[in-house]
Structure 1
Amino acid sequence: MYQRKKRRPVAEINVVPYIDVMLVLLIIFMATAPLITHGVKVELPKMEQSELVESKDAPPIVISINAEGKYFASIGIDPEEPMDAIDIAAQVKLALDKEPLTPVMLKGDGRVSYQEVLLLMDFLKRAGVPSVGLMTESFEK
């Protein structure tokens, strides 16, 4: 009579599928990591009244946007004259070259287009501004 060999159960785990899953996850994380780091660093203001820490040597640079989308800067020849975003970025870059710790604050009208604010922040980022503070009014008024 023919006698079959009894097969012993294999006590090993096949890890190949786990390695495949890990490699796919690694590729996904490597592809999405650079997308997460893009953007403008912004110091969001608190809604309660907070004091602005001012340096005696360098008062903050305040850039304003009115409801029509015109830009104004507290630096330059005439703070009351509207300027282009490129000109403001150039003026801010010159001011930061002289005094690198000068804070830059953005003061926008509530009715101004969000696109205008982002456009100005992009120009400021390209000019080398490390962070931009956003100015608000308190609810008490």
Structure 2
Amino acid sequence: MAINLPNGGGRRGGRGSRRPPMSEINVTPLVDVMLVLLIIFMVTAPLLVTGVPVDLPDARAQSLPQDITPIQISLDAKGEIFIDKLTITPAALPAKLAALREARSDDARVYVRADRSLDYGRVMQVVGDVNAAGFKKVALVTDGSRPVLTTENQ
């Protein structure tokens, strides 16, 4: 009486030989699951940041006045001084800055824009006049169209 074994009767390399066990971990399903979770979190995260939806009532009161637009002082290549788009002589600059200081709030910002060919002393004279007028927030503007050097005197 003989027994027919599925692996070929104990012979190695026969028709029904078994493969050796794999010693590697297949990470492809793990990566697939992690990418799906990443996409889910990327989609839902912005939705969680929004607050509680509230329907705010209308009010008849006016909003508080704010000085949103800064005062822009520009010096062109010739050395002429402009406050916003109005030309000012160097002698009239301190008086005009003092008048602006009285009309604006304490948080008024002053942006100084000067041509690169101007003398450093000329630009610092204008910045000194701005500081003498009592403005605390003065910024120098560069080609990137935003203030890069800000001084706040306390």
TM-score by length of 1: 0.50
Structure with higher Rg: it is 2
Which has the larger strand fraction? 2
* Larger RCO (alpha carbons 8 Å, 6+ apart): 1
Which has the larger helix fraction? 1
